[in-house]
Copies of this chain bind each other. A is one copy, B any other.
Amino acid sequence: MAHVLGQNQYGKAETRVVRVRRDTARHEIKDLNVSVALSGDLDDVHLTGSNANCLPTDTTKNTVYAFAKEHGIESAEAFGIHLARHFVDDNEPIRRARIRIEEYAWDRIPTQDDAGPGHSFVRSGGEVRTAEIGYDGSSFQVITGLSELTVLNSTDSEFWGYIKDKYTTLKEAYDRILATQVTARWKHSWSGAETQPPWEQSYAEVRRHLLEAFAQTYSYSLQQTLYAMGTRVLNNRAEVDEVRLELPNKHHFLVDLEPFGLKNENEVYYAADRPYGLIEGTVHREGVTPVIPVA
């Protein structure tokens, strides 16, 4: 009994590449985790066991390393564009490529004697930068993002006026902590025709606007904060036409200190792990068809 092979893709996931630029004594490093997914004329691989159209995942890994030398890594996006173009344009059976990249940032270790050789680094921690590059042989789709950016407002957050039903026990809050671990993805309007945007600068600016919008929004719900963050990016960065945010509500519950004869004046909180509210949403420009998928 024959069935239909639907969407399929394959490639090497999580190739870890570190690229050092040593042109001068002041080295530069780029630290990426690259995942390749290819699709195309691959029915035979699945149905007959013929691998004639299969570019091995091992080869996609090798290509990541070779391209790090041949092209360098100017930015995660530019590097992914090189890879995606190669896999599709240079392999007839491959029709689509999706390159996902995580980038880990490093700072220089400051030393008192800063005449030093500039080869010492400390991982920045904080958020992971992400990039997803899609290419189908004619146009590109670039979605930049970040994850694990944890933020907290210790006031200027309320939550009240919601539906009450028979399962409601939550008390309305007029001054609460609002904390979340931001996962954001934003699509660039660039699709391959013109000069590429300045990816590094664009990332830094979007990140800044996300943080500022979170900090400056007086919030009546995490949904409202989400919308404010998305619109702030669209208002300030012309190269972006869609933003999607996933904001887990990292609950900080006020501890009841009355049994101990103490009054908790919004000072002592229990930071909970699970369960957590999860608020997700897309904000996009009018006329743009949103493409960033739901997680």
Which positions 153-192 of chain A face chain B at CB distance < 8 Å? 153-156, 159-163, 165-170, 177
Number of copies: 4
Contact with A59, one of B22, B163, B264 (Cβ below 8 angstroms):
B163
Of the stretches A13-21, A135-143, A194-202, the one at the interface is: A13-21
Partner of A227, one of B47, B50, B121: B47
* Pair B163/A286 contact, Cβ less than 8 Å: no
Give Cα A293 to B284, complex, Å.
22
Bound state CA distance, A50 and B236, in angstroms?
26
Complex contacts, A93 vs chain B, CB 8 Å: 163
Contact assessment for A268 and B69 in the assembled complex, using a CB-CB cutoff below 8 Å:
yes
In the complex, whether A203 has a CB less than 8 A from a CB of chain B is: no
The answer to whether A66 and B177 touch (CB under 8 A), given A163-B52, A282-B5, is: no
Beta-carbon nearest neighbor of A274 in chain B: B14
A166 to B242, CA, bound (A): 38
Number of residues of chain A lying within 8 A (CB) of chain B: 147
A10 touches B277 (CB 8 A): yes
Q: Does A119 contact B (CB under 8 A)?
A: yes
Asked whether, in the complex, the Cβ of B282 is within 8 Å of the Cβ of A6, the reply is yes
CA–CA, A3 and B223, complex, Å: 15
Residues in B neighbouring A3, C-beta threshold 8 A? 230-231, 234, 283-286
A127 part of interface (Cβ distance < 8 Å): yes
A75 interfacial contact with B, CB 8 Å: no
Residue in B57, B169, B221 whose beta carbon sits within 8 Å of that of A259 in the complex: B169
Most buried by B among A9, A163, A219, A275: A275
